[in-house]
A and B are shown apart, each in its own frame.
Chain A
Amino acid sequence: MAAGGLVVSGQTGDISCFHCHSKEVNDFQKSIHFNKDISCTDCHGGDIKISGDVVSIDVMHTNFTGAPSRVNMTEFCSRCHAEVTKTYEESIHWQKLKEGRVEAAACTDCHGTHNILSYKNPDSPTYSEKIPLTCAGCHENQTKMQAWYYGISTDRFDTYKKSYHYKAYVSGGGVLATCSDCHENHDTRPESDPKSAINPANLPATCGKPDCHQGANNAFIYGGKVHEGQSVYLGFIDAKKLVTYFYIIMILFELTFTIGLIVLGITSNFELRRRH
């Protein structure tokens, strides 16, 4: 892990990079990396022995690497987070990145850049309560998701909002399942991948995680259409539509009759006689 680096980011808070890169350093000072004594140079390179008194861009930027390209991002992070990077490189996000779809999610899209926070920090975009918003940032974006080479539906957050998982959480029931609990955080794979957590064959194991629906392992779970809400078909009729139409008619009927009869009743002599 991070060795040295103390000249640049010591406990005194004297960071020489700050003289020019004030915004970045301000952000960085809030991050978990700063708290663990990791310095700018651990990611960006450059000579840490040079003090702030020597103000020369050429000298300070020796061996400096600026922002990595999105495809080279993993090379930065894997210096410390080797294990997790390997897992991430199995994901659909990384595969698309490698194919040249630069908008696919890289490390920093979820974790942030300089202001990376622990997933246990409530302000972090990777905190369990914030995960739906983090994912929705891209997955609700029409332009990104509906590109001709993706065609991913953008209603994932909206459909999630209809689930008990979300409703119970918003009502103060503690955090139940969010996106990454079912889809995995680093090892996100499409449903069609046999290794995917949401592949129909793996759904019993995914739902039956020890902290979730234990004993779901033998459950009779059909298909993988959790967001859409799977229906039952009576021949060619969608049972969900049938139930909905039936109750829409019933409720309109009920409202019309109840309120109509109340109004008619109030004006009639029968009711007046009752209160004589």
Chain B
Amino acid sequence: MAELKFRRFTLNQRVQHIIFFTTFILLAYTGFPLKFPDEWWSKWMIESVGGFANRTFIHHYAGLLMIGVSVYHVVFHLLEKPRFDVLFNLKDLQDFQQQVKYYFRYTDEHPKFGRYTWKQKFEYFGAGFGAVVMGFTGILMWHPFAAMQYFPIGFIQIANLFHTWEAVLASLAVFIGHFYDEHFGKFPNMSWITGNISEEEMKHEHALEYEEALNNPELRINNNKNAGIDQVPNNVLIVTTKDTAQGESKTDQAPNNILILGLAKMVFTVVFLAICAWMLWISYLVLVEAVNTYIL
């Protein structure tokens, strides 16, 4: 019995993703308490990393690491082989229209997504834009007096403003949008660790890409021993042969797995809702501050 798997992320990309999200979480965790020092959670969060000096250290060096991984990402993917299906095109607009129609029951047909959906493209370029904004403004704010040898103080103030706003925007996009779309809605989505998605997921989430991959024999690899699996490039089918004995033992364990999965989903739901509430609180605070300062 053959099982089809699809390579979605190479090892390199998975490591980049892990470094990027780890630094992102650290930066959000050590950054927002400084912006809102009067909230009760700020004091608690700063205590939890061992005081203000540690907070500053973590924020600065996690920031540097994020800049590093972002630069690496751009350089590596330009040198490797730039791919153009990640750019926006007309089909994204059509997909979006069709998806909205589908949600409002004007059509029964959900759009067939290619390798990247329009939402994923927004998230990707949003992360890119965010990394550039946060990186440059962050460096200006790290050494304001060195920066002021080249720029007037107004630039530092603008950098400060950009840093806060972009932090809120990026955190909303990641902690609510990306978490829901990729991890909560598709729970348990393990492709960020294994790099593969199942045939079923592929058919459902990326129908267009699935058809293309099936019709292209060059993209097929028989991999019986799971050997050298990390050298498999993206987009490629991996056909593995399932051991029937293993299959049987898996069905025996199924109820157990459901229990663990259910528990994991419950924990994840609570964490997800808590983070959503926190993000909404933060957006409320910045919006109120902006309205008080600039509009009223």
CB pair B294–A244 under 8 Å, yes or no, is: yes
CB pair B165–A247 under 8 Å, yes or no, is: yes
CB pair B158–A240 under 8 Å, yes or no, is: yes
Q: How far is the CA of A267 from the CA of B173 in the complex (A)?
A: 21
CB pair A230–B157 under 8 Å, yes or no, is: yes
Q: How far is the CA of A66 from the CA of B229 in the complex (A)?
A: 92
B283 lies within 8 A of chain A by Cβ: yes
CB pair B177–A270 under 8 Å, yes or no, is: no
* Residue among B103, B176, B204 making CB contact with A273, cutoff 8 Å: B204
A221 lies within 8 A of chain B by Cβ: yes
Residues of A within 8 A of B290 (CB): 244, 247-248
Q: A219-B148, A258-B176, A258-B177 are in contact. Are A268 and B102 (CB under 8 A)?
A: yes
Residues of B within 8 A of A243 (CB): 158, 161-162, 165
Interface SS majority for chain B: helix
Q: B14-22, B45-53, B211-219, B240-248: which lies at the A interface?
A: B45-53
Q: A33-41, A120-128, A169-177, A180-188: which lies at the B interface?
A: A169-177
CB pair B152–A230 under 8 Å, yes or no, is: yes
Q: How far is the CA of A55 from the CA of B162 in the complex (A)?
A: 72
What range describes how many residues of A lie at the interface?
35 or more
Question: How far, in Å, is A269 (CB) from chain B's closest CB?
Answer: 8
Residues of A within 8 A of B104 (CB): 264
Q: A173-B53, A219-B145, A270-B110 are in contact. Are A244 and B43 (CB under 8 A)?
A: no
* Residue among B52, B144, B169 making CB contact with A251, cutoff 8 Å: B169
Question: How far, in Å, is B167 (CB) from chain A's closest CB?
Answer: 10
Task: Please encode chain B, from 90 to 107, with 1 for each CB lying within 8 Å of some chain A CB and 0 for all others.
Answer: 000000000010111000
Interface SS majority for chain A: helix
Q: Which residues, 235 to 255 on A, are CB-close (under 8 Å) to B?
A: 239-241, 243-245, 247-248, 250-251, 254-255
CB pair A271–B165 under 8 Å, yes or no, is: no
CB pair B287–A220 under 8 Å, yes or no, is: no
Q: How far is the CA of A268 from the CA of B104 in the complex (A)?
A: 8
Q: How far is the CA of A112 from the CA of B283 in the complex (A)?
A: 43
A64 lies within 8 A of chain B by Cβ: no
* Residue among A251, A261, A262, A264 making CB contact with B172, cutoff 8 Å: A251
Question: How far, in Å, is B295 (CB) from chain A's closest CB?
Answer: 9
Q: How far is the CA of A213 from the CA of B145 in the complex (A)?
A: 7
Question: How far, in Å, is A128 (CB) from chain B's closest CB?
Answer: 16
Q: A219-B145, A239-B158, A268-B102 are in contact. Are A171 and B34 (CB under 8 A)?
A: yes
Nearest chain B residue, comparing its CB with the CB of A220:
B148
Residues of B within 8 A of A241 (CB): 294
Q: Which residues, 15 to 63 on B, are CB-close (under 8 Å) to A?
A: 33-35, 37-38, 42-43, 46-47, 51-53, 55-56
CB pair A221–B153 under 8 Å, yes or no, is: yes
CB pair A254–B165 under 8 Å, yes or no, is: no
B150 lies within 8 A of chain A by Cβ: yes
User: What are 28 sample pairs from A and B whose C-beta atoms fall under 8 A apart?
Assistant: A164-B34, A166-B37, A171-B52, A172-B46, A172-B51, A219-B148, A220-B151, A220-B152, A221-B152, A222-B153, A222-B154, A230-B152, A230-B153, A243-B161, A244-B161, A244-B165, A244-B294, A247-B168, A248-B290, A251-B165, A254-B172, A258-B180, A261-B103, A261-B119, A262-B180, A264-B103, A274-B186, A274-B204
In order of increasing CB-CB distance, the 8 nearest A-B pairs are A173-B52, A247-B165, A264-B103, A222-B152, A232-B154, A170-B37, A230-B154, A219-B148
